[in-house]
Amino acid sequence: MASSSNPEIARVFFPSYPMFQLYKDGRAERLRQIVTVPPSDDPKTGVRSKDAPVPPLSSARIFLPKTSDPTAKLPLLIYIHGGAFCIESPFSPTYHNYLTSLVAKANVIAVSVQYRKAPEHNLPAAYDDAWDAINWIASHIERNGPEPWLNENADFDKVFLAGDSAGANIAHNMIMKSAGDDQIRLKFSGLLLMNPFFMNDEPDELISFIFPSSKGPNDPRLNPACIAIKELAAGLVCKKILVCVAEKDFLRERGVSYYETVKNSGWNGVIEMVEIEGEEHVFYLFKPDCEKA
């Protein structure tokens, strides 16, 4: 691997938390190793997990809680991981352990969505893959889809979308996209945005590189506040929204702005915001055993 002093290196995203670097000849090199763990039956919680392909280009890890009734219909959580659209995976130890814990405590069945990452696959690839996952999940509504756990255990009238950081951005956009598609018959009960990434009116160096076709701060996928409030309100086809921010998170104000924008939009739903004092961005992933997590 070339060093950061190599004159052939044009840019590093980002020096404080290196994810990938660009060479002057146009090559991109990842700086973080991809670590994954296999699906498993967790002996502590009884949560089971398995992987499934999501056509045409993606996949997912599905989590099923321990239950005394194998035919019980459970609320369905669709989870989209963060990582600046560039790193992480449902199959990493961080997200596998987090979803295992979440599924055990909430007693839900969860689908943790994999999506293609920048810089090899620039945005909107992540949005496209997440949308394919939404459609794949919806294909189980008649109880004859390709994944038995979803056919047998998912309550498609109680569907929740959740994500953290970039994944929260994707989750918001999946709700908005669902509003314009009559083929999606999932009934979204809630949207959970944890330490969400949204743009404000300032340019973003990473977004400019990994999403060259976007309009930056004027792109509603990145900055929901830039669209008409009536359009925003009409697109949020869920009943409840919970926005979680952390006091020391560099994205805190973006989450607060989203909350205030939706609250003042005339949206016919309930939105709440929770702020965790003294904590930084996605602290609960790095300190899962702490009381605040």
| Candidates 165, 178, 214, 265; catalytic one | 165
State the Cα–Cα distance between residues 221 and 81, nearest whole angstrom. Answer: 17
> Cα–Cα–Cα angle for 159, 143, 103, nearest 5°?
40
8 A C-beta contact, residue 237 and residue 171: no
Name residues whose C-beta falls within 8 Å of residue 153's C-beta, 6 or more positions apart in sequence. Answer: 64, 70, 71, 72, 73, 74, 109
State the Cα–Cα distance between residues 291 and 293, nearest whole angstrom. Answer: 5
Q: How far is CA 236 from the centre of its chain?
A: 16
Catalytic-residue membership of 165: yes
State the Cα–Cα distance between residues 171 and 107, nearest whole angstrom. Answer: 21
User: What residues are labeled active site?
Assistant: 165
